[in-house]
Structure 1
Amino acid sequence: MSPDIALTSFLLALSGLFSIVNPVGSALIFAQVTAERSAAERAELARRIGFYAALVMLAALWAGAPILNFFGVSLAALRIAGGLVVAASAWTLLSAPEAREARRQAEAGPEPGRGIGPGSGDGRSEGLAEVAFFPLTLPFTTGPGTIAVAIALGANRPAEGPDRIGFYIGASLAAVAIAGMVRLAYGSADRVVTLIGPVRARVLGRLSAFLLLCVGTQITVNGVADVLGPLIAAAHRG
């Protein structure tokens, strides 16, 4: 296993997932929608959301691409489509970040019969566990965009061999690191609101979105190279 592959995969996955999850910006909304909860309950929610977020990202990273391959989607097509989806998501973040923030706040808000304030559920632990997974993990923290990014990253894996092992180790560590950031940011949401504020969070979000656009473009380029490479080589041999 090459340490360089693991490090490169870690940095690529970390930048891509951080950009789409945006733990700092999400913490600002988390602070608003859980304002009526006690400090102990919010800390418990942060711990559970971090754990669930890690499971969602790891499942998409490890199983997403193989499942699509099972249905006959080639690796090159998966890379191209995944890269385009990631790039489109990044462009939306760059062009209309306020709209995305409003949508995520609506996703995290209470639904009829399913509140996130005190007293949700039949008991404290059961209520926290239910709310922590839905809606605060899915779709608020790790929604369809995050899953698409994780699948696209998984599609960018090397061929069978030691390099693939290094890729999965690096990418999985990045997913766990992002989940850890989510837990820390949500657990310190009040301090994040005071320290960062909504304006700085938007600036950070735009910078992250541009980085995500670059990640999506790179994944697409890799997929196009997979398609055109054999054709160009065949043309040269002819």
Structure 2
Amino acid sequence: MNGTIQNRDAFLSQIANRLGRERKTSLERPKWKYNPQDEVLKDATQDDLVEVLKQQCNNIHTKFVQTNSANLVASLKEVVDGYGGGSIVVGNDKRFEQFGLSELLKKDWPESGSEVHVWDHTLGRENIEKANLANVGISISEITLAESATAVLFSSKDQGRTISFLPNYSIIIMPKSTIVPRMTQGARFVREKVKNGEQIASCVNFISGPSDSADIEMIPVIGVHGPIKMTYIVVDDL
């Protein structure tokens, strides 16, 4: 049931009057003389951004792997096996098919004893329980911020947010084409989607490596909440 707003105009006009100014009925985006946020890495090539991302991964205790589409399956298997195999949870993401991973993630990995659960919104809370028991969660970044080594993940009915933080280990696949300098471009990416009328996730996660207690207590203990370890796999899709 929708509520009714009463006396809104009179109320807002009274506030403007008390502030000694004319009431505004529309807003214009301010035009700033200086935009220092656009200067950071503005001349960086895509390869430069990959290198910045790689170096920042050292600071956030995250393993960095670079590969191409042809070798992605082998690279992913190697990382999963390095985490001990076991149960895996992934989103129902069409990009897995684009990268040639759909068949791999639809079945078990007998050689590593890995059982794969693909997120299915019709199963409801069972998906969360699967993620909670999983050893590895695999996601694909929507956009990647090189400066802070941050993966931006959109949650949806086919991509639960628990995939990236309930399993013991998290693997995030990052298409090279998605790498941008910093949060400035990440915010614009989201804003453009809204401007174009696209449906935006109710939850947008900005993830920079495994959890670190030093963010709060100043004493570093990695993996206190969320994944113990994390790997970024950058895929050259250009």
Which TM bucket (shorter chain)? under 0.3
Where is the helix percentage greater, Structure 1 or Structure 2?
Answer: 1
Where is the strand percentage greater, Structure 1 or Structure 2?
Answer: 2
Q: Which has the larger radius of gyration?
A: 2
Give the TM-score taking structure 1 as reference length: 0.23
Give the TM-score taking structure 2 as reference length: 0.23
Higher relative contact order (CA 8 A, sep 6+): 1
